[in-house]
Amino acid sequence: MSGSESSLYERLGGVYAISAVIDHFSDQLLKNEKVVNANPYLKEWHTQEFKVRLPGLKFLRTLWACSVTGGPFQYAGRPLGEAHLNFRIPPEVFDEVAEELERSLKHFHVPERERSEVLAAFNANKSGVTAGSILPTLKK
Nearest to 7 by CA among 103, 72, 57: 72
- Those residues whose C-beta lies under 8 Å from the C-beta of residue 77, and which sit 6 or more positions away, are 60, 63, 64, 83
* Residue 10 clears pLDDT 50, i.e. is over it: yes
Instruction: Give the domains, in start order, of the chain with CATH numbers.
Output: 9-133 (1.10.490.10)
pLDDT at position 138, please?
A: 52
Q: Is the pTM of this model over 0.85?
A: yes
Burial of 94 (0-12, 13-18, 19+ CB in 10 A): buried
Query: What is the signed CA dihedral for 15, 16, 22, 25, rounded to 10 degrees?
Result: -150
Average of per-residue pLDDT across 18-32: 95
Nearest to 126 by CA among 107, 109, 104, 101: 101
Identify whether the C-beta of residue 101 lies closer than 8 Å to the C-beta of residue 25.
yes
Q: How do residues 66-109 score in pLDDT, each as one tens digit?
A: 999 999 999 999 999 999 998 899 999 999 999 999 999 999 99
